[in-house]
Amino acid sequence: MEITQRVEDGITVVQPDGRIDTLAAEQLDQALQATMAGGDHKIVMDMSKVEYISSAGLRSLAAVLVKCREEGGDMKLAALNERVTRVFKIIGFDILMSVSDTPEAAIAEFSASAAS
């Protein structure tokens, strides 16, 4: 799995590409931990290129969400495909995390919440 990152408006956008299975979940977790260690606690996960996510991937995202919020930030999800959306709804992640149609919409949510 390939993971790219970019910073937009002070928000780190992380885009995994491929299946987030057990091995890839560990890789994703390491990348996200390094991002947070660098002081970035406002993260948008651009899931547009993720076709599958395992329970290990879900655990990794949950742990990162908790850590971000403990540090005064948040993690928002964007561009989930239908299959991944179904998994998130079944386990209730769509209630725990903000899910947007696009990364740009998720980034805008950070600005909107800072303004209120």
- Please give the average pLDDT of every successive group of 10 residues along the chain, which has 116 residues: 94 97 95 96 97 94 96 96 92 91 95 67
* Tokens of residue 113, six digits: 């919440």
Helix axes 22-37, 55-70, angle to 10 degrees: 10
Domains of the chain with bracketed CATH: 2-115 (3.30.750.24)
Torsion of CA 73, 92, 58, 1, to 10 degrees: -90
Task: Give CA–CA dist 82/85, Å, rounded.
Answer: 5
User: CA of 31: how far to CAs of 41, 95, 115, in Å?
Assistant: 13, 25, 29
Encoding tokens for residue 4?
A: 């790219």
Whole-prediction pTM value? Answer: 0.92
